[in-house]
Structure 1
Amino acid sequence: MNLFLLKGFEVELFTGLYTGKHIGVSEQVANNFSDFVKEPDQRNLEYITKPERNYQSIKELLLEPRRRLRKWLAQKDLTILPGSTLSLGDSSNFERSDLTNSYHEFIELNYGTKVVTASIHINLGIEDLDLIFSALRLVRCEAALFLALSASSPFLDGSATGFHSQRWNQFPKTPAKVPLFLNHLHYVDWIEDQLGKGVMCNERHLWTAVRPNGVRRPYELNRLELRICDLITNCDLLLAITALLELRVISLINNPEKLDPLKGSTLTPDELSDLSDINEQEVAKNSLNATLHDWQTGKTVFCRDWIEELILEVTPLAIELNVLYLLEPIKEVLNKGNQSMRWLNGYTNGISLSDLLQQTIQEMEAEEKENFVNSISVNYP
């Protein structure tokens, strides 16, 4: 039996000039490519990969749309931009992609450019409802760690913001207070209550670090969606973060008494939800350098140390499933810093923001070309 879960990705991207300036063409892209969809602001767009269990296939599923889009953009002297915020953009101006779309109008009027960001949403297929909510609790309590590894938005409007993830700092988490769901019924009742009060405008209007997903929310669910990650342009790192996430969920399946926060924590559900929110705020500010609170005891822990502890915890399972090597890019991030930290280091040393973005654009192009030429050279399981 294949122990791996189905994995699918929602990839949001910015487009623009090779200098790093944002130029919106999402409506044209959506008209030319059936697998791309436009976001409310025309400067970014999204594609979704088909669900896949085996890591062997995921990398190409992620890179092929990027190559195809890049080729089309090149005809217009445009490219795909790294980063999760309008690094060199104009955040004072919302650029609607569809003036006839009432939902887009709602977004513009209520949130403006706070939602004009790019990110990676990682979906894990889970059919069992009890497991979905057990996994949701665990991942909610550890979501900040995944943001720390992926942080790639230290700039906005041409300047450093003081945050490693400006995206998560500015993004309007909705509703502002989300409980740690005890079970499916608790989730359904809470969603219906939020809709009845008008706090949420529809069942998709749950903008939080992690949420249940499925064919008919909130009633029919079949996956967990981690939404907190900034855009991860390096696919090896994305696979590593996905593998760590999946290994944590499989570990939960094997040991629910320890890893379900309802059973393995000394804190109450309300305390756990508050702790998780505070941890996310700390990581948005300082990413790997953040001081956090462990969900099992509430004690202080350094973000880097906590991630290293998770790696050690999942190592036996990773060896058993032959995926230990997938985690190597995480160790490199712990040693050298995430994208935001590397950019800020260069920025502090006098490298212009435009030059930093151009260098990362070149790295993205090189990865796409290398994997196209070599196909998949590693025998992923």
Structure 2
Amino acid sequence: MVPEFKKSHAFTIGVELEFQLVDRESLALVPLAPRILESLSDQWKDRIKKEFIQSMLEVNTGVCHTIDDVAQDLRVVTLHLEQKAHEQGALLHPTSLHPFSRALDQQPTQDPRYLEILEDLRLVGQMLITQGLHVHIGVPDGDTAIWIVDHIRAYLPLILSLTASSPFFQGIDTGFQSYRSKLFEQLPRSGIPASLGSWDEYVRLCNMLMEGGIISDVRDIWWDVRPHPYFGTIEVRIGDLPPTFKEILAITALIHALVVYISRNRNLPPPPHRLIIANNKWQAARYGLNGTFVNLDVKTRLTQREAVTHLLARLEDIFLELGSKKYTDVLKEVLTLGSGSYRQRTLKERGLTFQEIIKETIEGFWNP
């Protein structure tokens, strides 16, 4: 059965970050998550959590009301995890694919649910050594959640192009700005969802999947955006993990403003066809901010960069109202400098090794 949609305060915020654990010397992925988790006191056990592989951990916020609340919350928990990782000889690497460690060398987390998923996915699951940024925004009811999910889909490619940070995989330049997104699309029940229309239709779909034995829980649906009835949120999952703390906050602020905008505007035109959105996502994954973005009215072709610029202008008053206007400067900086994948490639073209690129990325995480 699909759980009832939990009531939550509108537009509250929660953030989940997935970090790689790398050896302090070799900078290869290292399976130290179990030891780090064992070292945590009880107060941190709901804030730092296991993930699919043992060379990865998740940090998450509590329920926050502003982006500044998110910043304070995330800073404290991430610094604590950094300290605990350091005690075990590891560093946190903020990117969405490790550039040279092999996927088949990674150890799965010994959790019944993860092992069941891995048995179902086999090689597809073994390749999934990816990390991302997940942002939850509170909404009051299921129908509001579905309205937002249906309409925010059109903007998801822009979030991907801004966050793209996974150009290298197993020592290879993939040619993509976000190869993580392509690996993740190999999963069933992933990618851009179809338009759902109503909460009742979402429940009907989930019940069909459960009755067919395809899923056991709504969390087995891994769309790029999904309603989360347990938390009373919509969860935007498309983003790669940005390489700096300030970019994480800026992307969270953008998603927050978008959800407010869509929630308040109930006369929005129908979302574009799913094929249009999927092609915009492909362009974001392959070319990043330089990719093509077919505008929502399907009459105009822009670059992803131009589309982000238009979107920021449209949301300016909402950023001001939410107290997050300062984060638009960070987004504009990304438009100028490029996302994390562009910066990684620039370092590679300058002759840096993968290890040196990892060091640069780690050292830059807290840069103001």
TM-score by length of 1: 0.85
One-letter amino acid matched to 2:118 = I
Structure 2 vs 1, CA of residues 101 and 176 (structure 1 numbering), >3 Å: closer, same or farther?
A: closer
- Residue equivalent to 1:296: 297
Q: Is 1:32 matched up with 2:39?
A: yes
- Residue equivalent to 1:53: 65
- Residue equivalent to 1:208: 223
The size of the alignment, in residue pairs, is 350
Counterparts of 2:87 and 2:323 in 1: how far apart (Å)? 42
Counterparts of 2:76 and 2:320 in 1: how far apart (Å)? 29
Give the match's secondary structure for 2:330.
helix
Any conservation in 2 of the 1:165–1:285 contact (CA below 8 Å)? yes
Question: Within 5 A, what are the aligned runs for 1:362-373?
Answer: 362-364=363-365, 366-367=366-367
Instruction: Provide the alpha-carbon RMSD of the alignment.
Output: 2.2
Structure 2 vs 1, CA of residues 31 and 257 (structure 1 numbering), >3 Å: closer, same or farther?
A: same
Q: String of CA shifts for 1:276-334, please: whole Å, max 9, x gaps.
A: 22222221111111112223336432111110000111113333444322211000000
Aligned-residue offset at 1:49: 0.8
Any conservation in 2 of the 1:4–1:53 contact (CA below 8 Å)? no
Counterparts of 1:176 and 1:320 in 2: how far apart (Å)? 34
Counterparts of 2:323 and 2:52 in 1: how far apart (Å)? 41
Give the match's secondary structure for 2:240.
coil
One-letter amino acid matched to 2:274 = S
Counterparts of 1:97 and 1:301 in 2: how far apart (Å)? 43
Any conservation in 1 of the 2:294–2:300 contact (CA below 8 Å)? yes
Uncovered stretches (5+) of structure 2, i.e. residues with no partner: 1-8
Any conservation in 1 of the 2:10–2:139 contact (CA below 8 Å)? no
Q: Is 1:174 matched up with 2:169?
A: no
- Residue equivalent to 2:315: 314
Structure 2 vs 1, CA of residues 240 and 40 (structure 1 numbering), >3 Å: closer, same or farther?
A: closer
- Residue equivalent to 1:121: 134
Aligned-residue offset at 1:38: 1.4
Q: Is 1:104 matched up with 2:111?
A: no
Counterparts of 1:239 and 1:361 in 2: how far apart (Å)? 17
- Residue equivalent to 1:352: 353
Question: Within 5 A, what are the aligned runs for 1:195-274?
Answer: 195-215=210-230, 222-258=232-268, 261-262=269-270, 265=271, 267=272, 272-274=273-275
Structure 2 vs 1, CA of residues 176 and 330 (structure 1 numbering), >3 Å: closer, same or farther?
A: closer
Give the match's secondary structure for 2:251.
helix
Aligned-residue offset at 1:186: 0.9
- Residue equivalent to 1:85: 97
Aligned-residue offset at 1:105: 4.0
- Residue equivalent to 1:143: 156
Any conservation in 1 of the 2:137–2:233 contact (CA below 8 Å)? yes
One-letter amino acid matched to 1:230 = D
Counterparts of 2:17 and 2:302 in 1: how far apart (Å)? 31
Counterparts of 1:341 and 1:201 in 2: how far apart (Å)? 39
Any conservation in 2 of the 1:153–1:166 contact (CA below 8 Å)? yes
Any conservation in 1 of the 2:152–2:262 contact (CA below 8 Å)? no
Q: String of CA shifts for 1:130-157, please: whole Å, max 9, x gaps.
A: 3211111121111111011111111111
Q: 1:70 is matched with which residue: 75, 82, 88?
A: 82
TM-score by length of 2: 0.88
One-letter amino acid matched to 2:87 = Q
Deviates more, 1:280-289 or 1:326-335: 280-289
Counterparts of 1:335 and 1:55 in 2: how far apart (Å)? 23
- Residue equivalent to 2:168: 155
Any conservation in 2 of the 1:133–1:182 contact (CA below 8 Å)? yes
Counterparts of 1:156 and 1:341 in 2: how far apart (Å)? 15
- Residue equivalent to 2:12: 6
Any conservation in 2 of the 1:174–1:208 contact (CA below 8 Å)? no
Any conservation in 2 of the 1:83–1:118 contact (CA below 8 Å)? yes
- Residue equivalent to 2:54: 42
- Of all paired residues, the percent bearing the same amino acid is 23
Counterparts of 1:320 and 1:66 in 2: how far apart (Å)? 28
Counterparts of 2:308 and 2:188 in 1: how far apart (Å)? 27
